[in-house]
Amino acid sequence: DAGVIQSPRHEVTEMGQEVTLRCKPISGHDYLFWYRQTMMRGLELLIYFNNNVPIDDSGMPEDRFSAKMPNASFSTLKIQPSEPRDSAVYFCASSLARGMFGYTFGSGTRLTVV
């Protein structure tokens, strides 16, 4: 299994631009999570899906953030418009069964907004 695949690995964009991060979960995993990691706040849950349906998006910072999961093998996290404070590493993770067996994380997307 190739694991959770995220793209791009690095993204540098100008303030105000739209950014789209992509994730392919492990086949058969029915939960997908988006996390943001910063030095100050650690790993923060943004949103998670179960069977492609958003379950909890209370961690999404504001309306500039949106996430979709059109099918079981693909999810996107979009920021529009981007701001410098959005600079962080964004991780996608997938799991079976409520995360009891742990999540498998992707390698992350390092986003820099200048």
Partner 1 sequence: GQQLNQSPQSMFIQEGEDVSMNCTSSSIFNTWLWYKQEPGEGPVLLIALYKAGELTSNGRLTAQFGITRKDSFLNISASIPSDVGIYFCAGLPSNSNSGYALNFGKGTSLLVTP
How many binding residues for partner 1 (CB under 8 A)?
A: 23
- Is the bond leading into 61 cis (omega within 30 degrees of zero)? no
Q: Convert residues 15-54 into a mask of x (bound to partner 1 by CB under 8 A) and - (unbound).
A: ----------------x-x--------xx-x--x-x----
Residue 112 near partner 1 by CB under 8 A: no
What is d(CA 10, CA 29) in angstroms, rounded to the nearest whole number?
25
As measured in angstroms, the least distance from the Cβ of 108 to partner 1 is 5
Residue 101 near partner 1 by CB under 8 A: yes
Binders of partner 1 among residues 51 to 70 (CB under 8 A) are: 55-56
Residue pointed to by tokens 């949103």: 47
Q: Which is nearer to partner 1, 81 or 105 (CB)?
A: 105
What is d(CA 81, CA 42) in angstroms, rounded to the nearest whole number?
23
At 99, is the secondary structure helix, strand, or coil? helix
